[in-house]
Structure 1
Amino acid sequence: MHIHILAVGQRMPQWISEGYNYYVKRLSNKFISLRLIEVPAARRTKNSNVTKWHQEESERLLAAIPINSVVIACDICGIAWSTEKVASCMQEWMNEGKSIAIFIGGPDGLAPACLNRANYQWSLSPLTLPHGLVRIVLAEQIYRVSTLLSGHPYHRG
């Protein structure tokens, strides 16, 4: 199964890249591949507004969705899924031959166009998390799901 994290923003701090890459390496040689696709954030100026930024970023995210993907938007107003629920859904999507595309918004969140396009909205926490940290949390959860599905003891619930 191919999982694509589609994230607004580039040039993350080194600790974010290291944390994300740690779990990607642990996923290697498993039945799940994880790929990060970064899209540039909209240029914020005094004369532009959030609606314009959202539109630019949403166009970039929507254009990056791989064919035949289930689309999940990370959003604080989404549903809080347990690791077991994510594993169950991923198993179902793998059986159907689907890929997964997960949106991470920019500093102003996701535009309505991205939320409307998403098949699911997933809340990782009721807290507002730094967008870079969300990359690490997603990578860890995807790794955890892969161990759960393969019966590895990393996931202990």
Structure 2
Amino acid sequence: MRLIVAAVGRLKDAEKDLCVRYTKRFDAAGRSLGLGPLIITELNESRASGAEARKSDEATRLLKAAGAASQIVALDEGGKMLSSVALADWLARIRDEGCKDLALLIGGPDGHGGEVASAATLKLSLGPMTLPHGLARAMLIEQLYRATTILSGHPYHRA
């Protein structure tokens, strides 16, 4: 199952280094599990004048980046919080059900537009705190890697 992380905003060096590290780890660990590759797509923030127009523009571009993904996850502070084990189990379940492409979408500073909210099969929260987009992306990719280690029985996850 191919995974696409599409995010509004450009990463700074520290966050980019973390994302590259965990993407490489995910791709290596996920291969034998039928997970991967992990494709990262960065989108520029919208320059529209109002928040709703920005959200709509970004939503259109995020959904375009998602392509034909049969499962779309919108990262949203009001979404469902999953433990690392629950996320791993969910990934394994949708993979086993035949999902070929999974898109995980991170909106811009104004949040997601209604188009993404409507298309999402899951709204996922990384926790109740508001995170900078770069850290949220790094945390998401680390959790995807952690899921591969949980599914393979690797000792990385020690909970």
TM > 0.5 fold call: yes
Q: Kindly state the Cα deviation for residue 29 of structure 1 after the two structures are TM-superposed.
A: 2.6
CA contact (8 A) 2:7 2:62 kept: yes
Mapped partners of 1:109, 1:68: distance in 2: 21
Q: Would you say 1:9 and 2:13 are equivalent positions?
A: no
Mapped partners of 2:66, 2:25: distance in 1: 24
Partner in structure 1 of residue 95 of structure 2: 94
Q: Would you say 1:61 and 2:65 are equivalent positions?
A: no
Partner in structure 2 of residue 104 of structure 1: 106
CA contact (8 A) 2:69 2:103 kept: no
Where in structure 2 are there 5+ consecutive unaligned residues?
Answer: none
Question: Normalising to structure 2: TM-score of the pair?
Answer: 0.91
Structure with the higher helix share, 1 or 2: 2
Q: Kindly state the Cα deviation for residue 105 of structure 1 after the two structures are TM-superposed.
A: 0.6
SS in 2 for 1:3: strand
Mapped partners of 1:124, 1:36: distance in 2: 18
One-letter identity of the residue aligned with 1:40: N
Structure 1 outlier segments of 4+, above 3 Å: none
Mapped partners of 1:143, 1:28: distance in 2: 8
Alignment root-mean-square deviation, CA: 1.2
Mapped partners of 2:152, 2:12: distance in 1: 32
CA deviation string 1:90-132 (max 9, x = no partner): 1111112312100101011111211111001011010000011
State which drifts further: 133-142 or 91-100.
Answer: 91-100
Identity %: 37
Number of positions where the alignment pairs a residue of Structure 1 with one of Structure 2 = 153
Partner in structure 2 of residue 21 of structure 1: 20
Mapped partners of 1:89, 1:18: distance in 2: 27
CA deviation string 1:6-34 (max 9, x = no partner): 10122x21001001111112123332221
Where in structure 1 are there 5+ consecutive unaligned residues?
Answer: none
